[in-house]
């Protein structure tokens, strides 16, 4: 028996990275600004996209969306009802969107007819972070109803996202959540990072969030 | 939670290289993953064992090395391993600014997942 070592150097995420790069080029070619919105179920991803879409439309900016969900099309319907063209992706068992799914979803889109594309990722705070989609901005959303230790528990996703959002601040007092605490945790791992506190209910912080995303 | 699909990619790739190198048997597959991935090593190994049954990888071992992430500072140009602090639960967590000057950093590595080499029997 002869055992020997062979060099392999094979990247398991290669296919996804290459497709993400292709998506990125395509978005660039059609001049579409793209935002990957990640975060746990119920943190307010759809609500934020709705509110921002409203405001953008008022300014004459054309918005489109891709909604990812394990099953169903509730988010897609919500966005469609406010006049946003939507492509829905059901991921089934998968816990995240990937570049391949986005690649196919945008085949159905007239990219020349939109200026901004929101991609709502599957409700999961962890897995989507491993899969680049090819967007300009990666945004992570948490809400105060999840407690004030989210940043401490998930430093990597906050560290590697471009914009972090703490949503539902209108509920902070009721939930007994100290926003300063969250901010401090965030500053410890990313002093120069962007952290925006928002409330879809009161509208607080929404304009700031849009500024931070360059919208 | 995507350990299973990642393990599928690992198994497919390893089988491809085993065949390409005319292996009779595979003893070990050496995998490197970056510390910024969300892959759980135990779950990865568990999935690998299930998926390698009845293939040329049967009974082989997936050896996983978790590598520190690296950065380059966009302000002072320093580079190296990402800094770490201990959180309140005494876990070591990465920090995303330059440990030298506090400036903004670019992450150079830490999200990789690749098969480095394999030990095969020919
Ligand atoms: N009070 C309050 N409720 C919110 C806010 N944002 C979202 N919600 C509510 O939280 C629930 C989940 O929001 P949704 O956008 O569906 O979350 P998603 O699963 O992340 O897309 C809905 O009932 C929203 O109306 C907020 O800022 N304040
Ligand atoms: Mg939603
Ligand atoms: Zn520096």
In CATH, what number is assigned to the domain containing residue A15?
Answer: 3.40.50.300
CA distance A56 to A132: 25
Q: Which residue has the tokens 């094979």?
A: A10
Q: Which domain holds residue A125?
A: 2-212
Q: What is the pLDDT of residue A153?
A: 87
Q: What is the mean pLDDT of the segment spanning A15-29?
A: 95
H or E segment at B41? helix B41-52
Q: Is residue B78 located within the same domain as residue B99? A: yes
Q: What is the pLDDT of residue A144?
A: 95
Q: Is residue B76 located within the same domain as residue B97? A: yes
Q: Is residue B55 located within the same domain as residue B87? A: no
Q: Is residue B88 located within the same domain as residue B44? A: no
Q: Is residue B22 located within the same domain as residue B42? A: yes
For residue B95, report the phi and psi dihedrals to the nearest 5 degrees.
Answer: -115, 150
Q: Is residue B51 located within the same domain as residue B76? A: no
Could you give the number of structural domains in chain B? 2
A152 at interface of B, judged by CB pairs closer than 8 A: yes
Task: Give the closest ligand to the alpha carbon of residue A191.
Answer: 3
Cβ neighbours of B117 in A, within 8 Å: 5-9
Task: Give the closest ligand to the alpha carbon of residue A200.
Answer: 1
Q: Which residues contact A34 (CB under 8 A, 6 or more apart)?
A: A27, A116, A117, A118, A119, A133, A134, A135, A136, A137
Q: Is residue B14 located within the same domain as residue B50? A: yes
CB contact under 8 A, A191 and B115: no
Q: Is residue B32 located within the same domain as residue B84? A: no
Per the model's pLDDT, the better-predicted residue between A160 and A94 turns out to be A160
Q: For chain B, percent helix, then strand, then coil, each to nearest 5? A: 25, 35, 40
Q: Would you place residue A126 in the very low, low, confident or very high pLDDT band (cuts 50, 70, 90)?
A: confident
Judge residue A50's burial from the number of C-beta atoms within 10 Å of its C-beta, 0-12 exposed, 13-18 middle, 19 or more buried. Answer: buried
A92 at interface of B, judged by CB pairs closer than 8 A: no
The per-residue pLDDT of chain B, averaged, comes to 94
Query: What is the per-residue pLDDT across A38-80, written as a single tens digit (0 to 9) for each?
Result: 999 999 999 999 999 999 999 999 999 999 988 899 999 999 9
Q: What is the mean pLDDT of the segment spanning A178-194?
A: 94
Residue B76, pLDDT > 80, answer: yes
Q: What is the pLDDT of residue B92?
A: 85
CA distance A127 to B6: 12
Q: Would you place residue B89 in the very low, low, confident or very high pLDDT band (cuts 50, 70, 90)?
A: confident
Taking one residue from A and the other from B, the number of pairs with CB-CB distance under 8 angstroms is 106
Task: Give the closest ligand to the alpha carbon of residue A72.
Answer: 2
Cβ neighbours of A124 in B, within 8 Å: 1
Structure tokens at B11: 């198994």
Q: What is the pLDDT of residue A127?
A: 85
Q: Which atom of ligand 1 is nearest to the CA of A41?
A: 19
Least confident range from A86-95, A178-187, B82-91: namely B82-91
Residue B52, pLDDT > 80, answer: yes
CB contact under 8 A, B39 and A130: yes
Q: What is the mean pLDDT of the segment spanning B72-98?
A: 90
Per the model's pLDDT, the better-predicted residue between A94 and B16 turns out to be B16
Q: Which atom of ligand 1 is nearest to the CA of A200?
A: 27
Residue A2, pLDDT > 80, answer: no
Q: Which domain holds residue B14?
A: 2-68+110-121
Q: Which residue owns the Cα nearest ligand 1 atom 9?
A: A44
> Closest chain B residue to A2 measured between Cα atoms?
B121
Per the model's pLDDT, the better-predicted residue between A108 and B53 turns out to be B53
Structure tokens at A189: 């791992």
Nearest by CB: A8 against B94, B95, B117: B117
Could you give the number of structural domains in chain A? 1
Q: Is residue B14 located within the same domain as residue B57? A: yes
CA distance A98 to A131: 6
pTM (2 d.p.): 0.92
CB contact under 8 A, B13 and A191: no
Q: Which residue owns the Cα nearest ligand 1 atom 23?
A: A42
**Cα B54 off chain centre by:** 25
């Amino acid at each position: 028996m002869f055992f020997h070592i062979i060099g392999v150097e094979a990247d398991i995420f290669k296919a996804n990275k290459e497709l993400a790069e292709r998506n990125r080029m395509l978005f660039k070619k059609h001049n579409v600004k793209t935002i990957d919105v990640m975060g746990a179920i119920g943190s307010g991803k759809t609500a934020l996209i709705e509110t921002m879409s409203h405001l953008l439309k008022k300014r004459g900016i054309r918005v489109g969306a891709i909604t990812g969900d394990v099953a169903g099309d509730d988010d897609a319907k919500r966005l469609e009802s406010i006049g946003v063209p939507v492509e829905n992706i059901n991921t089934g068992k998968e816990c995240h969107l990937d570049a391949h799914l986005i690649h196919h979803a945008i085949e159905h889109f007239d990219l020349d007819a939109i200026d901004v594309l929101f991609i709502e990722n599957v409700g999961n705070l962890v897995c989507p972070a491993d899969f680049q989609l090819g967007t300009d901005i990666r945004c992570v959303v948490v809400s105060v109803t999840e407690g004030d230790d989210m940043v401490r528990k998930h430093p990597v996703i906050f560290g590697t996202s471009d914009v972090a959002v703490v949503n539902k601040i209108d509920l902070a007092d009721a939930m007994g959540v100290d926003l300063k605490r969250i901010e401090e945790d965030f500053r410890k791992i990313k002093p120069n990072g962007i952290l925006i506190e928002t409330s879809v209910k009161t509208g607080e912080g929404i304009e700031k969030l849009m500024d931070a995303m360059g919208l | 939670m995507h350990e299973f699909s990642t393990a599928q990619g690992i198994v497919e790739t390893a089988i491809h290289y085993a065949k390409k190198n005319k292996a009779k048997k595979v003893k070990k597959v050496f995998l490197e993953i970056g510390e910024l991935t969300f892959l759980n090593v135990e779950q990865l190994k568990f999935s690998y064992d299930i998926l390698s049954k009845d293939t040329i990888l049967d009974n082989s071992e997936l050896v996983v090395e978790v590598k520190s992430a690296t950065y380059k500072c966009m302000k002072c140009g320093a580079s190296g391993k990402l800094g770490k602090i201990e959180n309140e639960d005494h876990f070591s967590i990465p920090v995303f600014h330059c440990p030298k000057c506090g400036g903004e950093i670019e992450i150079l590595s830490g999200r990789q997942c690749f098969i480095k080499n394999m030990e095969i029997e020919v």
